[in-house]
Each structure stands twice: as C-alpha cells, then as structure tokens.
Amino acid sequence: MSAVHLHLVLNHFPIVGFLIIFFMFLYGIYCKNEEIKFISLWFLIFLSIITIIVYFSGHEKLGKWTFILSIVLLLSSITSIIIKKFITGFYGGQIRHDEVRKSLKKEVEHEH
C-alpha cells in the first residue's frame, strides 16, 4: 500500500471522528459523566495519531493547520489523562468512611 492509498483510506476518519468526539465530550460534560469524558480523550488521542499519519501521507497545504491542531489536541488529551490520574489518586486518599472509622473507634475504646 502506497502513501497515497493510506491517505485515501484514512482521510475521512479525522473529519468525521473529531465531530463525533466533540459532541460525545460535550455530552459527557452535560451529564457530568467522567467516564464518557475520559473515553473521549482516548478517542481524541487515537484520531490525532490518524490525522498525523494522514498529513504525512498527503502533504496538503490546508492539512498543515489540521496537523498543528492535532498535535495540540494530542498533547492536551495526554496531559488531561495524566492530570486526572494524579487528581483521582489525591482525592481518593482523602476519602473518609465514617462507618469504618466509628467501628475502629469503638474497638479502641473497648480495649481501654
């Protein structure tokens, strides 16, 4: 398969995909659903990589701006996923279960 064939096969995925993922991400924001937003970020990474492949197999002038936007989306999606892991770990450590704390407190009081 030549670069031209690869370009023709993959060319429409970013065009349609970014539109679908955009609305999927907005839906995740509207519903306050973290899983949908998280999956949208992974799809953005996937589509950004396809866009980069399409750019290098086609070399169109208008593709330059799409290529730049794809790099920005790729980096921001990766950054968002990494930051979410750190934030989730931080807040996960902050969770306090009163039912566990009360039973432990009772055990300590009985020992004394």
Q: What is the pLDDT of residue 46?
A: 93
**Residue 23 to residues 40, 63, 76, Cα–Cα distance (Å):** 9, 22, 17
pLDDT digits 0-9 by tens, 12-58: 888 899 999 999 999 999 998 989 999 999 999 999 999 888 888 88
The predicted model scores a pTM of: 0.68
Q: Hey, where are the domains in the chain?
A: 3-80
> How far apart, in whole angstroms, are the C-alpha atoms of residue 44 and residue 17?
8
